[in-house]
C-alpha cells in the first residue's frame, strides 16, 4: 500500500490517495491536520461515507485506523469551524494550538439551558464556542477563561467577528484565577479531563496536556473552587467521562452540590483504534481507572453531562 501524497492548498490540506479501499489514484480528498507529539496526523474523509482514514506522517506514513468524521475538526494552522447546535449556526476560527470543539463540546452545548440576562462563566473556553452559544441563547454577560493566551486571543477575535464583543469577554489564567471577582448564574465547567496518557496518544489536546495521571486531578481542583463562583440559585454544567477516574470527579461534585446533581445527557463515542492500542491506555483500563465498552469490533467510551445546583441553605 502506498502512502498518501499531501499538499497544502489555500490553507486546506488535500491528499492524493493510492490503492486505498479501491479508490482511483486521482481521488483528491480534503483532510485535516492534528498533532500527536512530534508527528503530524492527517485524517481524510472517504467519499460518500461518514468515515475517515487516519495517518501519522512524520519520518514515514503509518495508517492509524478509522475514526468518525464528526471528531475530525482541526485543519492546518487555522480551522474554520461551523457550530450547528443550540444557538447556531455560526462559524468561528480555531487557531493553531487552541483546543478545537469536540464531541463533548457539541453534547454539552445542546444540553445547556440559558435564561435571558444571565451571567455565564465558561471555564476552559478554548476558541470561545460555548461562550458564544450562551450569548446567542440570551445570556446578558459571558466571561470565558483559559490557561492558554492563544485561546484567549482566538476567542476574543472570534467574538469581534461574530458581533458578540459587547456580551463576551475572555481572560487568561488557570481555572478560576482570572474570574475571582465573578459569581455567575451558570458555570460551564468543561476543562481537560482525560488522563495525560490519553491526551498524548489521541492528539485531542494541544501540547498533549491532560487532566492529570487519572484525568480527575484538574476537574477535582476546579470543583474544589467552584462553589464561590456560583450564585445561590445558579447551576453548573459538568461533563464527566468513562475515559477518566469518573468516580473521583463525581465525589468532588457531591461535596459541593450534595444531591442536587442530575443527568442532563449521555452519549457513547468510539475510541480511535490508535488510542485503544496505546500501552498506557491499556494499563489504565486494566487498573479500572477508565471504563471502555466493546460494541462489535470497536471500543466505546461514555460521556455524561451533569446539571448541578447549590444545596439550599439550612
Residues 214-241 have pLDDT tens digits of 999 999 999 999 999 999 999 999 999 9
Q: Does domain 96-309 have CATH number 3.40.50.300?
A: no
Q: How high is the mean pLDDT in each 10-residue block of the chain (314 residues)?
A: 36 31 36 34 45 45 41 44 92 86 93 98 96 98 96 97 98 95 95 87 75 96 96 96 97 96 96 86 94 94 96 66
- Measured between alpha carbons, how far is residue 300 from residues 43, 49, 58, 271, 293 in Å? 20, 20, 28, 5, 5
Q: Quick: pLDDT tens for 237-276.
A: 999 999 999 999 999 999 999 999 999 999 999 988 888 8
Domain boundaries, the chain: 5-71, 96-309
Amino acid at each position: 500500500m502506498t502512502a498518501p501524497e499531501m499538499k497544502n492548498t489555500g490553507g486546506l490540506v488535500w491528499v492524493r490517495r493510492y490503492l486505498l479501499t479501491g479508490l482511483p489514484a486521482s481521488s483528491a480528498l480534503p483532510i485535516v491536520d492534528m498533532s500527536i507529539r512530534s508527528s503530524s496526523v492527517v485524517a481524510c474523509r472517504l467519499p460518500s461515507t461518514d468515515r475517515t482514514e487516519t495517518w501519522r506522517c512524520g519520518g514515514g506514513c503509518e495508517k492509524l485506523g478509522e475514526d468518525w468524521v464528526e471528531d475530525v475538526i482541526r485543519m492546518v494552522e487555522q480551522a474554520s469551524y461551523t457550530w450547528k447546535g443550540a444557538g447556531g449556526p455560526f462559524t468561528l476560527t480555531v487557531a493553531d494550538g487552541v483546543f478545537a470543539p469536540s464531541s463533548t463540546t457539541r453534547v454539552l452545548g445542546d444540553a445547556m439551558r440559558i435564561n435571558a440576562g444571565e451571567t455565564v462563566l465558561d471555564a476552559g473556553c478554548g476558541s470561545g464556542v460555548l461562550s458564544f452559544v450562551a450569548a446567542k441563547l440570551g445570556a446578558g454577560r459571558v466571561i470565558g477563561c483559559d490557561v492558554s493566551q492563544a485561546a484567549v486571543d482566538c476567542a476574543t477575535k472570534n467574538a469581534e467577528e461574530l458581533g458578540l464583543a459587547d456580551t463576551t469577554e475572555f481572560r487568561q489564567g488557570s481555572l478560576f484565577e482570572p474570574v475571582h471577582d465573578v459569581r455567575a448564574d451558570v458555570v460551564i465547567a468543561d476543562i481537560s479531563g482525560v488522563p495525560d496518557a490519553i491526551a498524548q496518544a489521541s492528539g485531542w489536546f494541544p501540547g498533549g496536556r491532560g487532566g492529570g495521571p487519572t484525568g480527575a486531578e484538574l476537574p477535582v481542583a476546579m470543583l474544589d473552587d467552584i462553589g464561590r463562583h456560583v450564585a445561590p440559585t445558579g447551576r453548573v454544567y459538568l461533563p464527566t467521562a468513562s475515559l477518566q477516574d469518573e468516580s473521583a470527579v463525581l465525589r468532588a461534585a457531591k461535596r459541593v452540590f450534595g444531591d442536587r446533581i442530575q443527568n442532563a445527557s449521555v452519549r457513547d463515542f468510539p475510541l480511535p483504534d490508535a488510542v485503544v492500542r496505546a500501552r498506557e491506555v491499556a494499563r489504565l483500563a486494566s487498573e479500572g481507572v477508565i471504563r471502555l465498552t466493546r460494541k462489535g469490533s470497536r471500543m466505546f467510551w461514555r460521556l455524561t453531562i451533569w446539571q448541578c445546583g447549590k444545596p439550599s441553605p439550612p
